[in-house]
């Protein structure tokens, strides 16, 4: 089956999978967003325990998706993995550290004789939510704005800035995406609290914070999106492989791929309706609209970054070193083998969906926290 597909078709198939994993990961960062709200929404020890337990039942999904995303990128587009992870390593080391302290915090916050104290691990969770979201969003911003690297004839990466990826914060368009991801994660976290927690005070505070958080999210997201559609993009000549700057490249990608445009519009509407139904109609299920809406929107953004003859990891230092799904991918044989392995993905999703439903079969209450033998 897969062996009969062309190399380009397999590359496109894997970019779709990569884009889907990235979209799911951004959605699952509602856990990180919720953690940054720990002290704003939770005013007592009992309220903080409720918040961390509704988030703690999902944090492994976020971590697992991040690891899967990295593994899939390594298998399908190893040159990107070697270039970004090998060159911009300070960014990735900080992201990794942020997720390590999250795992430690959930494991040890309520352990007996915790010599660091619960407060220390709560701060770890807030830092994870802050650094994890902003740094990942900023790093993804380089997919559209470029990074400072060159590749030699042996495809060895020569990073042109000693900051090793941290220089991305000097481009405000990158930071705008990072802040958009941060505030989107907080919006999703608030909607998740309203959907899963049976506590009037927590729900009331979440609804109060939702409006201001939404405004900040929209400011940064709309800035990023409008600027993206108006900026020059990194186009690729399909015949020669030459990379060049094209006016309104990402806007052209949307217009030339109407299916992707429809996906993005449905996603944006889903996010907005999830927020509006909660703010103005006192609904409690806005998360069920905003979550899938987030997945569709991020999915569309990744598709316009890599499809339609576009360099998905452009180089500011040397345009011809820019990475495309054609020059950065694994061999035909490797992609065929990995594609057969990818047929297991629907079963993994079904497993996650089942246990997600089981864990959310009823809202979390104070009484449940008192009865639990283990709480985070």
pLDDT over 90 at 55, yes or no: yes
Lowest-confidence segment of 111-120, 139-148, 193-202 by average pLDDT: 111-120
Q: Which residues pair with 313 in a beta bridge?
A: 323
Q: Residue 296: is its pLDDT beyond 80?
A: yes
Between 53 and 366, name the one with better pLDDT. Answer: 53
- pLDDT (0 to 100) of residue 183: 98
Q: Which residues contact 16 (CB under 8 A, 6 or more apart)?
A: 303
Statement: residue 115 has pLDDT above 60: yes
pLDDT tens per residue across span 227-283: 999 999 999 999 999 999 999 999 999 999 999 999 999 999 999 999 999 999 988
Higher pLDDT, 15 or 107: 15
pLDDT of residue 359: 77
Pairing of the two strands 233-236 and 157-159: unpaired
What is the pLDDT, as a whole number, of residue 154? 87
Give residue 47's Cα distance to chain centre.
27
pLDDT at 371: 59
Half-sphere exposure of 26 (CA within 13 A, CB side): 32
Question: Residue 168: what pLDDT?
Answer: 94
Average pLDDT over residues 30-59: 93
The percent of residues above 70 in pLDDT, for the chain, comes to 98
Q: Are 268 and 297 in contact (CB under 8 A)?
A: yes
From the number of C-beta atoms within 10 Å of its C-beta (0-12, 13-18, 19+), residue 311 rates as buried
Q: What is the chain's mean pLDDT, rounded? A: 92
């Amino acid at each position: 089956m897969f062996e009969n597909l062309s190399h380009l078709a397999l590359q496109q198939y894997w970019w779709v999978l990569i884009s889907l994993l990235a979209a799911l990961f951004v959605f699952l960062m509602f856990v990180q967003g919720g953690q940054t709200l720990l002290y704003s929404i939770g005013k007592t020890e009992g309220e903080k325990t409720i918040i961390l337990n509704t988030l703690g039942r999902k944090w492994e999904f976020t971590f697992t998706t991040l690891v899967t995303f990295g593994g899939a990128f390594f298998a399908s587009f190893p040159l990107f993995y070697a270039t970004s992870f090998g060159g911009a390593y300070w960014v990735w080391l900080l992201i990794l550290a942020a997720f390590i302290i999250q795992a430690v915090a959930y494991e040890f916050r309520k352990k007996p004789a915790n010599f660091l104290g619960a407060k220390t691990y709560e701060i770890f969770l807030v830092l994870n939510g802050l650094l994890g979201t902003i740094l990942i969003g900023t790093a993804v911003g380089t997919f559209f704005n470029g990074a400072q690297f060159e590749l030699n004839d042996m495809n060895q990466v020569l990073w042109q800035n000693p900051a090793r990826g941290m220089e991305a914060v000097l481009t405000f368009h990158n930071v705008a995406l990072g802040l958009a991801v941060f505030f989107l994660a907080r919006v999703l976290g608030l909607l998740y609290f309203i959907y899963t927690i049976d506590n009037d005070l927590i729900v009331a505070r979440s609804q109060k914070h939702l409006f201001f958080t939404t405004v900040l999210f929209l400011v940064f997201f709309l800035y990023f999106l409008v600027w993206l559609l108006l900026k020059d993009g990194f186009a690729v000549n399909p015949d020669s492989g030459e990379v060049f700057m094209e006016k309104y490249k990402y806007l052209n990608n949307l217009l030339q791929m109407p299916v992707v445009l429809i996906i993005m519009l449905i996603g944006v509407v889903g996010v907005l309706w999830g927020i509006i139904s909660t703010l103005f109609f006192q609904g409690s299920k806005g998360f069920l609209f905003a979550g899938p809406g987030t997945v569709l929107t991020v999915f569309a953004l990744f598709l316009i970054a890599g499809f339609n003859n576009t360099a998905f990891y452009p180089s500011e230092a040397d345009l011809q070193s820019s990475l495309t799904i054609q020059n950065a991918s694994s061999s035909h044989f490797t992609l065929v083998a990995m594609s057969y392995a990818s047929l297991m993905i629907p079963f993994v999703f079904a497993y996650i969906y089942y246990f997600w439903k089981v864990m959310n079969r009823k809202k979390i209450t104070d009484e449940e926290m008192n009865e639990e033998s283990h709480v985070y």
